[in-house]
Structure formats: structure tokens, C-alpha cells
Chain A
Amino acid sequence: MSATDHVDGGPPRSAAVDHDTVPPARTGLLVVAGVLLLLPVLALMWVGSYSRVDPKLGAFPFFIWYQFLWVFLTSAVTYTAYRIVLVARPHRPMTEDAPAVDEPGEQP
């Protein structure tokens, strides 16, 4: 659903936005961010790939230092993903022409 060209039959206002839509985004970039975020999860869930002692880093078994390494990689990955999603989906300000919604507290 593209929000940019979606104008419902409301009052004829210039560039009225229907806020019951997903703000437009560059899907390709979102996918890239998603893949980046998936990497640490896949790497660490695949325990068989790192549950061994060698190669050691100094005295540290592979099992230990590899997981410490992922602390830093994850930090880098989430920061990169953050920069990407900012570009991928710019904020679409909400204005007061949002459709009327009952306030919480009224039970249907």
C-alpha cells in the first residue's frame, strides 16, 4: 500500500494524508536492515559453530572470546541498522486530520 498517492474521499485539502496507512518506505533498505539484525541472532543460535576450545586467543577459549566479539559486532550492526531505517522510512508527521478514534477507556 503506497501512502503517498493514497488520498481518501475526505474533505479536499491539499496533500491530506490518510494516517491509517503505513508511511512510505524504501523496502530494499528495510530488508538490508532486517538482514543485518538477523545476523547476530543466527550466529549465536548456531551454538555448534563456536562450542569449542580452539583456536584460543591468548588463554581465552574460542567459545569465550567469540561471544565477546559478537557483543561488539552486534553493537555495530544495530547502529548501522538504525542509520539505515532513519533513511529508509523518514518520519511522516501526524497532523490533526487523523481519523477520529475513540479515546482509551470507553469500552465497546
Chain B
Amino acid sequence: MSGIDTPALLVLVLLFLLVTAMGFWATRWRRPTSMESLDEWGLGGRSFGTWITWFLLGGDLYTAYTFVAVPAAMFALGAVSGFFAVPYTIVLYPIIFVFMARLWSVSHRHGYVTTADFVRGRFGSRGLSLAVAVTGFLATMPYIALQLVGIQAVLEVVGLGGGGNVVAKDAPLFIAFALLAAYTYSGGLRAPAVIAFVKDILIYLVILVAIVYLPSKVGGWGEVFSAAEAKMSAAAPDGKPVGSFVPGASAQWAYATLGLGSALALFMYPHSVTASLSAKSRNTVRRNASILPAYSFVLGLLALLGWVAIAAGTKPVGLDGEPNAQLVIPQLFEDMFPSWFAGVAFAAIAIGALVPAAIMSIAAANTFTRNIYKEWLKPSATPEQEAKVSKLMSLVVKAFALVFVLALDKQNAINFQLLGGIWILQTFPAVVLGLYTRWLHRWALVAGWAVGMVYGTVAAYNVANPRSGVEHFGGSLAEIPVIGQLGYIAMTAFVANLVVAVVVTLVLRAMRAPEGRDETIRGDYFADAGDPRVRTVLQPLHQEAPNP
């Protein structure tokens, strides 16, 4: 590939400018009386209805990196590494249906902005809350960086970002991120909410066109599947098959644990929680659990495009001349679509990176502000100061992600993202089980978390991948002790975490260790939009309240 694809670039730039204008306009959208609190800046006033939440959560969860990496995995390694994204994003919704309404209700009553806020209130434990906050923050950082990798993949295929000049090479990425930072700073969560409309519509358009148009150009679906089967069952240099067409008997644990572990983990990430808590009522997220699978359907189609690329003979080669499977989808679009529509497709991916990057940086900033700044550094911070710190922190977080991707090998970001998925699942017992019971002792939850974190990190570090010549962080699968099959490391760590939490709880209960104070009451977990917040209950307590 040489030179710049001008029509595609033009369309890409135009759509990008449109989105930038919308991002700045977002400050005025549903304008609040004051932007100076985390409820407004960080949660969009907790006011989003079913459809806005649908676009926002869809735009948030199905990230540009997903759109690049899932088909790339299908293309390079087949169904186990790639198609697990489909069961993952299906079982996700029954799971969040069950617990997210409770988290929304208790957060509404007590004004919680993050999961660490909830854990602090529920268990009366600053230590456990800090563990949850730090885990969320660390897991989110590489995820933001990977959104940049998604944009980079597009720019590289369009022909930008080449050349020896360091400034010219990274200037487009830098400008895109600076604009994103500016309108996120001013508009808060409203900015990605507005942009998400454009992003999701473009994604649906591009995938549906691609899935109808592209297979016919390579000889139909029959040709696609036989090409994929041929590639996956061929022998790699080490004598084993290249990948899997359908998971064999030995890969079924891997497939199931990858799906379930990822689903349990996804709504522990701060950005998922931020988008959920911005909903205006308890049932908004439940209704969304039945309409969000539409995105899973699209993700499944997109995964199949990885196999379409096999049939099409796509050669994903980077500007440095090295093969790079991550470029397979942009390259497929570039090869097969008319130039202008390739531009639309690239815009869909690039804009697809902006929405999650914005929400993730807001969520990470909220976590820092609420659970580190206010909790440990300045307990007297007012809501105005909280908003100010959070806005500044959102800039710092993005700058860090940019440096991370530009200065370091992007493999680092991918490794950290792999670790992040393992880490974030270790907060599940404190957050989700905490929504139901206080039986698990706060210190036992800390102990379980620590064991899960250490086990997961060591296990991931020890995964070698001889085929790609890496000794560490070669993948997310390792042998499950006792069962003896390959499984997702996060799930094994999670089980270890639970076992330790239960055992230590039994010991601590026998020792009568202090339990900490619970500031929530049972009814809080069923509250809805019209119900008063706890802080508003406090003042008029002496008055006679009218009964319903």
C-alpha cells in the first residue's frame, strides 16, 4: 500500500468534523442549571432514557478495539479466540439484568457515582473501597490506550502515519485526541452520549452493507466458510492446526470460560457503570438488557467478516511492511469497497473509538476524584471541586493513554488490557455479591481480591506463545488447576478469590472481627427515580411526611 486514499480520507475527515461539532454542541444539550457537580458532568444529570442509554451503552461497550480485534482474531486464529465474543455479549445481558437494577437503586438513594463508592458505604471499609477503585482505574487505562490503536489501524490503511517524521506521523492521532479531550472537558458525559448516535448508526450501516455486499464478491458464504475451514485446519509450522473452525473437544472449556468470564467482568469496568448510572430510572437498564443484544448480533456479523477476509485473500500489511492481523478489517474495506464508502467505514471505526475513550476517561476520572482525591486527600471537597478535579483528571488520563501508545510498543497496551480484564473481575465479589449480602466479611473480600490479583497476574505472565515467539503474556488461557483443561485465567482467579473470601470470612466470624457499618437499608436496593435521596431525607426528618 502506498500513498493516501484521498476520497476515503476526505469522507473520514468530514464525518470527524461533524462529530467534533456535535461534541462541542453537547454542552448545550439538555442543559443543566449547573455543570459543576459530578452528577451533571460525570453522569449526564442521571437523566438518560431508554433510547439514549441504548446508544450510549452500545457505543460504550462495543469499542473500536473490539471492532478491530475480534475479526482480526477470527482471521488469524479462528472461532475460539474470536467468536467467543458472541456468547460473551449474549450471556452478559441476563447477568446485568439481575444485578444492575439494584446497583442503580442504591446509587440513586445515596448519590454513588462509582462502584467503590457503593462498596465503601455498604461495608464501611475504606481499604476495600480503595482496592476496588485502584483496580478499576488500572484496568481502564490500557483500555483507553487501545482505542487509539483502533484509530491508528484506520489511519494506517488510509495511508496516514507513515514516513520518518515523528511529528507528521502522529499528528492526526494527536489532533483527534486533543479535540476529544476538549469537548469531553466541557460537555462531560453528554458529549459521548451525543456522538454515540452517529457512531452507532454508522456502525450498523457499514456492517449491514458489508455483510450483504462482501460475501457475494468472494463467491458467497459457502466459499467463505470453506476458505476459513481450510485455513484453520491447515498445519502451522509446529505441526498443529493454525486455529479452530469450530471449537474442538479440548477447547470447549476455553470457549465457555472466556465468554462467561468476560461477561461477568464487563460491567465491573468503571465506564460500563458510569453509562448505567446515567440512566434515569431503575428499569432503564433492564429494558436495555433486551434491546442491547442488537449490538451482539452486529458484533457476530463483524466477526464473520474476519473469515470473509480469508476468502477475499486480504493481506493485512502495515506501513512498516510487517504483517499485522489488526489491520485486516480496514484493509478488507479498503480493498473491496468503493473509496468513498471505505471512508465511511473508517469513520465508523475511528468515531467508534472516540465514544468509549471519552466515557472511559470520564469514568476513570470520577473514580480518582471520588475514591482517591475526596476519600484520602481532601475529604472536605465540595461538589464543585469534585467536578473540577474530575475534568482535569479526564485530560490527564487521555494524555497518559496517548503517551502510552505513542512512546511504548503498543503490545504493552495489549498486554495490560489482557491483565486489566483479569484484574477487574476480582472486584466482582465485593460489588455484586455485596449488593445482595454482607455475609462476606470486608477483610475477607480484600484477601480474596489480593489472591485473585496475584494469581491472575502471575498466570498471565507465565503464558508463553512459541508460535509468535513470546515468552510472557502470550494469551489469556492457562490450564485450570484440578480440571486440567485450558481456561480463561480471569475465571480461575475469580474462583480462587471466592474460595479465599469464604474461608477467611468463616475465620473472621469465629474471631468476631468488627464488621464495619452499613449505611444502606434493604429498601434502598429497590428505590426508583421518584424516591427521595438519602441526603434530602435527613433535613426534614422531624417533619410529618405525608404517606403515599
CA distance in complex: A19, B300 (Å):
44
CA distance in complex: A41, B97 (Å):
13
CA distance in complex: A61, B79 (Å):
12
> Residue B530 at the A interface, CB < 8 A?
yes
Chain A residue with the shortest CB-CB distance to B304: A64
> Using an 8 Å CB-CB cutoff, how does the interface string of B502-534 with A read, 1 for contact, 0 for none?
000000000000001101111111111011101
Scoring A46, A61, A103 by chain B CB atoms within 10 A of each residue's CB, the highest score goes to A103
B293 cross-chain contacts in A, Cβ below 8 A: 71-72, 74-75, 78
Task: Please state if A51 and B260 are interface contacts (CB–CB under 8 Å).
Answer: no
Known: A47-B252, A94-B523, A95-B547. A68 touches B95 (CB 8 A): no
* Interface size, A (range): 35 or more
Known: A60-B221, A67-B90, A67-B300. A45 touches B523 (CB 8 A): no
Task: Please state if B523 and A23 are interface contacts (CB–CB under 8 Å).
Answer: yes
Task: Please state if A51 and B255 are interface contacts (CB–CB under 8 Å).
Answer: yes
B45-92 contacts to A (CB < 8 Å): 79, 83, 86-87, 90-91
A72 cross-chain contacts in B, Cβ below 8 A: 293, 297
Chain B residue with the shortest CB-CB distance to A49: B252
Chain B residue with the shortest CB-CB distance to A47: B252
Chain B residue with the shortest CB-CB distance to A73: B90
DSSP class of B's interface residues: helix, strand, loop or mixed? Answer: helix
Task: Please state if A60 and B523 are interface contacts (CB–CB under 8 Å).
Answer: no
Q: Which of B260, B297, B304, B546 contacts A41 (CB 8 A)?
A: B260
Task: Please state if B249 and A94 are interface contacts (CB–CB under 8 Å).
Answer: no
> Residue B40 at the A interface, CB < 8 A?
no
> Using an 8 Å CB-CB cutoff, how does the interface string of A48-73 with B read, 1 for contact, 0 for none?
10011100001111011001101110
Task: Please state if B94 and A37 are interface contacts (CB–CB under 8 Å).
Answer: yes
Known: A86-B283, A104-B117. A70 touches B90 (CB 8 A): yes
- A-contacting 9-mer, from B26-34, B451-459, B536-544: B536-544
CA distance in complex: A36, B521 (Å):
29
A40 cross-chain contacts in B, Cβ below 8 A: 90-91, 93-94
CA distance in complex: A61, B219 (Å):
17
Chain A residue with the shortest CB-CB distance to B79: A63
